[in-house]
């Protein structure tokens, strides 16, 4: 029987238990009658209108960044913490991951990043050479993304209290005037796009951790996606209904969250989903469902049906999205909303929200 009285690893995995923790513990403590304690008058960007309905929104409708009114415009604000183990992995490291992850949370809100803060919690005894290497990687990723790390904090924890470096970031971005994103914007017939193959990040980290021998071929997809997300918004405007990067919980958690928050069914086509054969082999070896494995450089976008092919072409301009594909369709409002996958052999399968995180400490 599951222990409901103590925090478990699965509470941080982006699945069902994490949703319960947010809904039952975190939000009640930080919210008031006027809405979340840490928002401003406009509140989180949870609909295609200017803000949430009075009284706040359901926790499942929370997005990757809050949208706040500032100086007559709108900014996106996000925060995240990174605890990946090992600190360096094929295709990236915790420094690069912290920058790209923060940039991506702003990007899927329809914002271009302006500035990032970085807090370091360092274990006593960590090699300074390793710390230099990780911070150099973070600096390079920030310069490549065109964003500055403008402030930060450093703490050192006594030996034995922390087994590895922890990085916390906050990010601010300027919201595009053409961004009209939200669960309430979804319409029946809208198309779901995925920018590339699934699971490369989570499986690259796990293959190295478990010495599976895939590391030479399988690399993390860790990358900033703000350029392609920004082009989608600028060129298609309100035809882009919603965006999210499928990190913890993978594509499965992302689609189930969209379905539940919008109250609409979603149908996806297994044969249309781009797959990295090495990642698929690693997932099968580990007994994992590729749909639930985390990604760090992928984009899920919901766009109007008539704009689907143009959206795919916009994504495919970018090297990291050469295999972008239309993988599904938004359905009618239903209760309860379901995500169904038409399998490659013609059957149908219900895609469920993961319970927790099958691969802990991968982001």
SS3 sequence of the chain? CCCCCCCCHHHHCCCHHHHHHHHHHHHHHHEECCEECCCCCCCCCCCCCCCCCCCCCCHHHCCCCEEEEECCEEEEEEEEEECCCCCEECCEEHHHHHHHHHHHHHHCCCEEEEEEEEEEEEECCCCHHHHHHHHHHHHHHHHHHCCEEEEEEEEEECCCCCCCCEEEEEEEEEECCCCCCCHHHCCCCCEEEECCCCCHHHHHHHHHHCCCCCCCCCCCCCCCCHHHHHHHHHHHHHHEEEEECCCCCHHHHHHHHHHHHHCEEEEEEHHHCCCCHHHHHHHHHHCCCHHHCCCCCCCEEEECHHHHHHHHHHHHCCHHHCCCEEEEEEEEECCCCCEEEECCCCCEEEECCCCCCCCCCCC
CATH code: domain of residue 244: 3.90.650.10
Within-domain flag for 7: no
What pLDDT is recorded for position 247?
95
CA angle, 144 then 64 then 10, to 5°: 110
Residue 200 in domain: yes
Distance in angstroms (rounded) separating the CA atoms of residues 142 and 123: 24
d(CA 99, CA 200): 18
Same domain for 159 and 222?
no
Check: CB of residue 46 under 8 Å from CB of residue 63: yes
pLDDT at 3 over 50: yes
Least confident interval from 142-146, 169-173, 215-219, 238-242: 215-219
Q: Is residue 59 part of a domain?
A: yes
Q: Residue with structure tokens 């499986």?
A: 203
pLDDT at 86: 94
pLDDT interval class at 151 (50, 70, 90): very high
pTM score of the predicted model: 0.87
**Structure tokens given for 339:** 């995500």
Of the three residues 106, 141, 175, the one that is the final residue of a domain is 175
Q: Residue 333 sits in which domain range?
A: 183-351
Q: How many domains does the chain have?
A: 2
User: 7: pLDDT confidence band, cut at 50, 70 and 90?
Assistant: confident
> How far is it, in rounded angstroms, from Cα 114 to Cα 226?
12
Q: How many residues does the chain have?
A: 363
Q: Is residue 260 part of a domain?
A: yes
Residue 356 lies in a domain: no
pLDDT of residue 10: 66
Mean pLDDT of the chain: 88
CA torsion 280-85-252-232 (nearest 10°) is -90
pLDDT for the residue 360: 72
Same domain? For 90 and 49 the reply is: yes
Q: What is the pLDDT of residues 228-237, one digit of tens each?
A: 999 999 999 9
pLDDT band for position 324 (cuts 50, 70, 90): very high
Mean pLDDT to the nearest integer, 25-50: 49
| 156 & 272 share domain | no
For residues 133 and 232, membership in a common domain is answered with no
Pairing of strands 66-70, 300-303: unpaired
Percent of the chain with pLDDT strictly greater than 90: 72
User: CB atoms < 10 A from the CB of 176, how many?
Assistant: 19
Residue 90, in any domain of the structure = yes
Q: Which residue has the higher pLDDT, 44 or 247?
A: 247
| pLDDT surpassing 70 at residue 124 | yes
Least Cα distance to 103 among 88, 91, 118 occurs for 118
Check which CATH number belongs to the domain holding 95 and give it.
3.30.1330.10
Please indicate, yes or no, whether residues 63 and 197 belong to a single structural domain of this protein: no
The predicted pLDDT at position 40 comes to 33
* Residue that is last in its domain, among 126, 154, 175: 175
Out of 49-63, 153-167, 322-336, pick the least confident. 49-63
Question: Please, what is the end-to-end C-alpha distance for the chain in angstroms?
Answer: 28
Higher pLDDT, 14 or 266: 266
pLDDT for 182 equals 95
Q: Are residues 109 and 147 both part of a single domain?
A: yes
Mean pLDDT over residues 54-62, rounded?
43
């Amino acid at each position: 029987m599951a222990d409901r009285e103590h925090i478990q690893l699965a509470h941080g995995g982006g699945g069902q238990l994490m949703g319960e923790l947010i809904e039952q513990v975190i939000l009640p403590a930080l919210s008031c009658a006027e809405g979340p304690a840490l928002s401003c008058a406009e509140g989180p960007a949870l609909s295609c209108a200017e803000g949430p309905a009075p009284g706040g929104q359901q926790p499942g409708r929370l997005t990757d960044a809050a949208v706040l009114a500032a100086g007559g415009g709108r900014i996106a604000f996000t925060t995240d913490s990174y605890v990946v183990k090992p600190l360096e992995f094929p295709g990236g490291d915790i420094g690069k991951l912290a920058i790209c992850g923060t940039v991506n949370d702003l990007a899927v809100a329809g914002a271009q990043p302006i500035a990032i803060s970085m807090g370091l919690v360092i274990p006593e005894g960590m090699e300074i050479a390793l710390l230099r290497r990780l911070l150099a990687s973070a600096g390079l990723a920030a310069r490549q993304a065109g964003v500055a790390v403008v402030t930060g904090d450093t703490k050192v924890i006594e030996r034995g209290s922390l087994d590895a470096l922890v990085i916390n970031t906050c990010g601010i971005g300027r919201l595009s005037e053409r961004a009209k994103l939200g669960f309430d914007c979804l319409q029946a017939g809208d198309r779901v796009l995925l920018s590339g193959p699934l699971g490369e990040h989570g499986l690259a980290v796990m293959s190295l951790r478990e010495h599976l021998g895939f590391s030479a071929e399988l690399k993390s997809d860790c990358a900033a996606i703000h350029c392609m997300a920004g082009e989608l918004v600028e060129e298609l405007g309100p035809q882009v209904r919603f965006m999210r990067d499928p990190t913890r919980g993978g594509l499965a958690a992302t689609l189930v969250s969209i379905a539940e928050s919008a109250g609409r069914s979603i149908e996806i086509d297994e044969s249309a989903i781009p797959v990295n054969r090495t990642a698929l082999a690693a997932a099968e070896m580990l007994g994992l469902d590729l749909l639930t494995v985390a990604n760090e450089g992928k984009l899920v976008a919901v766009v109007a049906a008539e704009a689907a092919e143009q959206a795919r072409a916009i994504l495919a301009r970018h090297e990291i999205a050469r295999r972008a594909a239309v993988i599904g369709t938004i359905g009618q409002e239903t209760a309860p909303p379901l995500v169904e996958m038409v399998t490659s052999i013609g059957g149908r399968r219900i895609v469920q929200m993961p319970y927790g995180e099958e691969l802990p400490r991968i982001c």
